[in-house]
Structure 1
Amino acid sequence: MFNPKMETLPREEIEKLQLQRLRKTLQFLKNSRSKLKEKYRDISPEDIKSLDDLKFLPFTTKDELRDCYPFGHIAVDISQYARMHMSSGTTGTPVINVMTKNDISQWGEIMARCLSCATLTPEDRLQIMPSFGLFNGGFGFHYGAETLGCFIVPAGPGRSLMQLKLIKDLGVTAIG
């Protein structure tokens, strides 16, 4: 386990934490600059009594996110963000996903847990094969492996013979 304290919480504690964070997120959204906050105008965080109340919250569609291109959906000023990724845009306007340094840190923690569940340890050498670019594919593996303490080989996609050579020559123990 990567984070035994969080990963072994009793179900009741997990749900309590989820409810607390949901309410906090709703309050943050209501006070944000996001164009999407209007959908939640009549919903107060205190109205959410249990996780079952999630069914009363409106969905956000991809079309709504596209209508906010490039930054109408973000919660705070762009200067507060450290990185962005986006969808390919093959079916319409791309959707941009911006992240703060804290978001990136959380992403690393989540992916470290996933890699740990897949039995990776700091002794592993992880070769990352998804792309590193506007698409976020390879970055999740990278942040997770970095947080876990693995040796990272950021190979990216393609070049099959080079991939195999790296695996053999560098003693790669896992691929992602």
Structure 2
Amino acid sequence: MLVVTSEWVSGVLSENRLTNDFRIHDTVPSAVANAGGAETRVVVSDGCSYEHLTDSISVAKVTVELDVSTAGAMRKMLVDLVKQGRFFLVVDLTGVDHVDSTGVGVFIGVLKRIRAHDGALALVLTSDGVLRYFRWAGLTKVFPIFGTVDTAVEFLGREVPNAHA
């Protein structure tokens, strides 16, 4: 949620399609009045953000290619979520067209942390190349993979004990 009073800033947000990611308000009182019970998106770094959908389930969104130079930001975000007690995670990779072994290593490390708390990690993939990589590496047997965030959240809420959607 953003409070924007400048027409120029509004134009920049609109041109970059950020109005799809943020709810825009003219005043702080308007933003506060509309915040009750709303999901909160936290931008951790360029290309990494998360939001808590329920008391149990969080969705992490990654929009940068996951390789040795960028996977660190995602790792930090996911580890921080686990440290916050968020043990049911959906990682939305619909904006990602490339993942290398470093990115996959981050998922495996976070999965170990989550499983230590009886949690679960689901991935959302739409890129044929990324899905092919996961199949090739045998990771489709390790991670539940979905085409949309909604189906991943539904899976966690329905199939995983202690998760509540």
Please indicate the TM-score interval, normalised by the length of the shorter structure. Answer: under 0.3
Give the number of the structure whose residues are more often helix, by fraction: 1
Computing the radius of gyration from Cα coordinates, the structure with the larger value is: 1
TM-score of the pair, normalised by structure 2: 0.27
Q: Which has the higher strand share?
A: 2
